[in-house]
A and B are shown apart, each in its own frame.
Chain A
Amino acid sequence: MALSGDARNPIEPGRTAEVTFAGSGFSLAGLLIPGYLLMLPTLGVFRFWQLTAKRRYYWSRTFIDGDALEYTGNAVQLLIGFLLALVVFIPTAGIYFWIGTLDQDPQYAGYLIVAAVLYFLAGYAEYRARRFRFTRTLWRGLRFSQSGSAWAYAVRRLLWSIGVLATAGLAYPFMRIDLFRYAWNNTQYGDRSFRFTGKWHLLIGAVLPVALLFAVLSAAGVFVAIESGVDWNRPSNAELTIVAGAAFILLTLTFLFGRARVTSRLYSAVEIGNAGLSVRVSAARLVGQAILYAILLTVAGFLALLLIGIASKTIEARAAGLDHTDISAILSIGWWQLGALGLGYLAILGVLSLLGEAILALGFWKAVARGTRINNADDLLSVRRGKAEESAVIGEGLADALNVGAY
């Protein structure tokens, strides 16, 4: 049926559409901070509402060709999914404890098996969580959907992961492509399917230069360190700090450049009908965000140290002379100190999480949105409604418990 020539929306062949994101770190922080505070009196129950609010924030501020996305999921669905996931987890906890009572060798084997099962389930959860999000995403009144089997995806992911381990990481780019292809070839918008056109070697060009650069710089670093006569048996603190710092910065840069290139290449190979994505994520932008994050983290850390310094003065007075090797003695510190310790711990986690959300996560979303163009965008006008049932909720709960799937 040729619907494309409608008078209301004249087709402009080859028109390129833009994606914009109207969110900012400040407004996201304004949404998240009250949510973090509500976590305390609700014993953490509020996080399902927090996640829903966060998704509404991201979706409603992401405009594709002028029209915003809409997130139609709600918090109760997430809560139910979590309760279902508990059904998996409570027996796992029991098994975990039972393994702890075994002899050393079967104990290690047992932990390995539990870890492998959890890793496999994480793959299942990842795919179901993606389905949960897509089936609850609306654009121009039509729903996205995802077919395919979460078990099949989990098996693929497990087998590829074994391959990645066996090849010391070399197989990773191919795993990434294969899983990305599986997911996008099973994704629909309305009645139209996406397809991934990337070849198996798509990421070699993206990953290889970064990996080589990393290898060369590492080798150079080691060479310089040896030449300058560092005694590795007794390196001084300053030398260790410099080496560790340089390695950390190098790793971070590698990761950011790699992430920008891999994301750009993967999404640029996604097409739907005659329309297609063209994505260029700016690595410089990601590096800028990382620097801002590091600066704010340093400031927050400095403030935290200041507070801890004041607090420990009062505790020190009480705990002077306590035998620090004795756990029960440490536990005999008063309840209010323990409470303060707990609150302080949560506050630190809250600040870390807030900075991660408002700068890194939001920054990445923004960088992807800004770098995305839709080629031949008017082809999408002819999409019609598909079979839009909402997916079952179980995967999302598992994903929450296993901590996968960010947005």
Chain B
Amino acid sequence: MQIPARFYDGLTAQPINALFKLNARGHTSLAAIEDVDRDRDVAHWPVNKLRLLPNGGKQTILACDDQPPGARLVFAKKEAVQLRETLPGLWRELRRKGWGQARIISLATITLAAIIAVYVFGVPLFARQIVGLVPPQTEIALGARIKQQIEAAWGGTNGLELCDPNTGSLANQAIARFVRQVTDGTETPFPVRVAVVDSDIPNAFALPGGQTYYFSALLKQTESPDEFAAVLAHEIGHVVHRHGMQQLVSSAGTGLLIGFILGDATGLSVGAILGAAVINTKFSREAESEADEFARQASARAPFNAVALADLLDRVAEDDEDTASFALLSTHPLTVERREALRQPVEGAGIEEPFSAEEWLAISHMCDGLNIKPTRTKKK
């Protein structure tokens, strides 16, 4: 059996037009390579050391393990057919190596998936640890910057306008007293500042550093002092637990890390976005129940009924005409479990009201002095 090939000896750059001779003169274990132009054998390759390389493209490349690393026999497509009929074992071996690569790919994929899973579930824990190391002053400074961005994003040209800028007013005094009662005895890292602001979106939230917002549109739907107190206590719970900061830490790390693991930042940044969304959803669910628990405990210190939180969320949800209410519900998803958890009795939770009748009257009319835009102007 003689097959034409191009031969490189791996020592010089001289290509040789060769014949690859199998079973020549009865030698089954040794293949001879004949230089066609000079009509003599230039090399002998042991058949059991032959290796088919995957590098040849349309050509077929044969190497030999006990020859110089660059030594090659290169067969054109037509000649390779002949070689394959003679030495099918070479192709089997190459296929076996292909499966080896597939195993490596699977293993690497599984490892990557595991890392991502550990990360997704570990981030809330890590975030808590990391935030514990962040000095409150840093968080306050950060919160101040986020406040600027939030006010620009939600408030339009003038930012978010305070309903009642007079800190000495009855309403603001009552709120301040309530905050003191709620935070009394807790280890809040920073003072809680509550701002009741003019906005046509029913929402309430807390920023890193203690700034808490109660939007006028939500105040309009708030029907009892208990509801107002419960929402406020819930948001203060976020502040005390530093949830805002934790969320920031977890989402910032996620995007970058997933981006790097998955490679070039452009191609798969969508993966990073989805990953961040998954982590955020999981994270906020835990944070919500933690803040609920805080509110429930606080209902003993500043007597109010914590279940009122669920009542208000229900009412906002019922108002399905107003799709803007999704804003509140998407960050505060209401579940049966949450309501049940809020209903657990707390010792000392009073039948008393958190605010006096005059105080509640003042609070509920805080934003009346402003020319409140109708709630549904933004709808299309």
CB contacts (< 8 Å) of B109 on chain A: these are 41-43, 45
B277 close to A (CB within 8 Å): yes
Known contacts A49-B101, A138-B70, A141-B72; A325/B257 CB under 8 A? no
A118, chain B: closest CB distance, angstroms: 11
Question: Do A44 and B72 touch (CB < 8 A)?
Answer: no
> A45–B108 contact, CB under 8 A?
yes
Most A CB within 10 A of own CB, among B57, B68, B101, B265:
B57
- B94 located at the interface, meaning its Cβ lies under 8 Å from any Cβ of chain A in the complex: no
B328's closest neighbor in chain A, by CB?
A328
Contacts A8-B38, A44-B262, A141-B11 given; 7 further ones with Cβ under 8 A? Answer: A8-B16, A43-B112, A142-B12, A142-B13, A328-B331, A349-B266, A383-B12
B57 contacts A323, C-beta separation under 8 Å: no
Chain B 264-308, CB-CB to A under 8 Å as 1, else 0, gives: 111110110110010000000000000000000000000000000
Q: Is B29 an interface residue (CB 8 A)?
A: no
Residues of A within 8 A of B167 (CB): none
| CB-based contact A86/B260 at 8 Å | yes
- Interface: B165 (CB within 8 A): no
Q: Is A401 interfacial (CB 8 A cutoff)?
A: yes
Say yes or no: A60 contacts B55, CB within 8 Å.
yes
Interface size grouping (class) on chain A: 35 or more
Closest-by-CB residue of A relative to B245 is A101
Give Cα distance in the complex from A47 to B109, angstroms: 12
A7 and B253 CA atoms in complex are apart in Å by: 66
Tell me if A15 is interfacial: C-beta within 8 Å of chain B: no
A188 to chain B, nearest CB (A): 12
Q: In the complex, which of the residues A329, A381, A401, A403 has the most CB atoms of chain B within 10 Å of its own CB atom?
A: A329
B15 x A67 contact (CB < 8 A): yes
Bound: A46/B112 CA distance, A:
12
- Which residues of A pack against B, CB within 8 Å? 3, 6-9, 22, 41-47, 49, 56-57, 59-61, 66-68, 70-72, 75-76, 79, 82, 86, 89-90, 93-94, 96-97, 100-101, 103-104, 138-143, 189-190, 320-323, 325-326, 328-329, 331-332, 338-339, 341-342, 345-346, 349, 353, 380-385, 388, 400-401, 403
In the bound complex, how far is the Cα of B249 from the Cα of A100, in angstroms? Answer: 11
A96 to B, closest residue via Cβ: B256
Question: Is the Cβ of A138 less than 8 Å from the Cβ of B72?
Answer: yes
Chain B residue nearest to A8 in the complex (CB): B37
Q: B73 — nearest CB in chain A belongs to which residue? A: A141
Residues in B whose Cβ lies below 8 Å from that of A70: 53, 55-56, 61, 72
- A9 CA / B8 CA spacing, docked (Å): 13
A138→B249 CA distance, assembly (Å): 49
Q: Is the CB of B326 within 8 A of A329?
A: yes
Max chain A C-beta neighbours (<10 A), residue from B12, B141, B323, B379: B12
Q: Are A103 and B141 in contact (CB under 8 A)?
A: yes
Find out whether the CB atom of B201 lies under 8 angstroms from the CB atom of A9. no
| Contact residue among A75, A90, A141 (Cβ-Cβ distance under 8 Å from B10) | A141
A384→B13 contact, CB < 8 A: yes
Closest-by-CB residue of A relative to B11 is A385
- Enumerate B38-89 residues with CB–CB distance to A below 8 Å: 38, 53-59, 61, 68-72, 74
A323 touches B16 (CB 8 A): no
Is the C-beta of B361 less than 8 angstroms from some C-beta in chain A? no
Cβ contact within 8 Å between B277 and A338: yes
Assess the A97–B253 pair: CB atoms within 8 A.
yes
Closest A residue by C-beta to B324: A323
A316, chain B: closest CB distance, angstroms:
11
Among B154, B277, B330, B380, find the residue whose CB has the most chain A CB atoms closer than 10 A. Answer: B330
Residues of A within 8 A of B145 (CB): 104
Interfacial chain A residues near B346, Cβ < 8 Å: none
Inter-subunit contact B70/A385 (CB<8 Å)? yes
> Is B378 in the interface zone, CB < 8 Å from A?
yes
Are A326 and B262 CB-contacts (below 8 A) given A8-B16, A140-B13, A141-B10? Answer: no
- Once bound together, how far apart are the Cα atoms of A112 and B85, in whole Å? 62
Q: CA–CA, A56 to B60, complex, Å?
A: 12
**A93 CA / B251 CA spacing, docked (Å):** 12
B37 proximity list for chain A (CB < 8 A): 7-8
Tell which of B13, B55, B105, B112 touches A49, judged by Cβ atoms closer than 8 Å. B105
Cβ–Cβ < 8 Å partners of B201 in chain A: 323, 326
CA–CA, A325 and B203, complex, Å: 14
Instruction: Give chain A residues whose Cβ lies under 8 Å from the Cβ of B57.
Output: 56-57, 59-61, 68
Does B9 sit within 8 A of A, measured CB to CB? Answer: yes
A401 CA to B273 CA, complexed, in Å: 18
Q: Smallest CB–CB gap between A207 and chain B, Å?
A: 29
Contact present for B330 and A141 (CB under 8 Å): no
Given contacts A9-B15, A97-B253, A97-B256, whether A68 and B9 have CB atoms under 8 Å apart is no
- CB-defined contacts of B327 to chain A, threshold 8 Å: 323, 326, 328-329
A369 to B262: give the CA distance in the assembly, Å.
Answer: 33
Least Cβ–Cβ distance between A68 and chain B, in angstroms: 6
Asked if residues B263 and A346 are in contact (CB atoms below 8 Å), the reply is: no
The reply to whether B105 and A93 contact each other, CB–CB distance below 8 Å, is: no
Across the interface, which residues of A come within 8 angstroms of B324, CB to CB? 323, 326, 329
Chain A's nearest CB lies how many Å from the CB of B270? 5
**Is A381's CB under 8 angstroms from B13's CB?**
yes
* Cα separation A47 to B112 with both chains bound (whole Å): 14
State how many angstroms separate the Cβ of B319 from the closest Cβ of chain A. Answer: 13
Q: Give the complex CA separation of A75 and B109 in angstroms.
A: 14
The chain B residue with its CB closest to the CB of A328 is: B330
The answer to whether B142 has its CB under 8 Å from any CB of chain A is yes
Closest A residue by C-beta to B138: A101
Answer yes or no: B261 CB below 8 A from chain A CBs.
Answer: yes
**A323 close to B252 (CB less than 8 A):** no
Q: Which 8 A-B pairs have the closest CB atoms?
A: A60-B57, A141-B8, A141-B70, A93-B256, A383-B13, A332-B330, A44-B262, A141-B10
Contact of B8 among A66, A104, A140 (CB under 8 A): A140
Q: Are B14 and A6 in contact (CB under 8 A)?
A: yes
- Contact A7 to B70, CB < 8 A, known contacts A70-B55, A329-B330: no
Specify which of A49, A86, A142 lies most central, judged by the most chain B CB atoms within 10 Å of its CB.
A142
Q: State whether the Cβ of B339 lies closer than 8 Å to any Cβ in chain A.
A: no
Contact with A along B109-123 (1 / 0, CB 8 A): 100110010000000
A384 touches B12 (CB 8 A): yes
| A90-B270 in contact (CB<8A) | no
Of A61, A76, A82, A90, which one neighbours B104 at CB under 8 angstroms? A76
Q: Are B260 and A93 in contact (CB under 8 A)?
A: yes
Given the complex of chains A and B, what is the CA–CA distance between A44 and B266 in angstroms? 13
Residue contact A97 to B252, C-beta cutoff 8 Å: yes
Do A90 and B68 touch (CB < 8 A)?
Answer: no
In the complex, what residue of chain B is closest to A400 when comparing beta carbons? Answer: B263
Per a CB cutoff under 8 Å, which of A7, A67, A321, A331 touches B323?
A321
* A-B CB contact pairs (8 Å), 20 listed: A8-B37, A43-B116, A43-B271, A45-B108, A45-B112, A67-B74, A68-B74, A75-B104, A93-B260, A97-B252, A140-B15, A143-B69, A321-B380, A328-B331, A339-B274, A341-B270, A342-B270, A384-B11, A385-B12, A385-B70
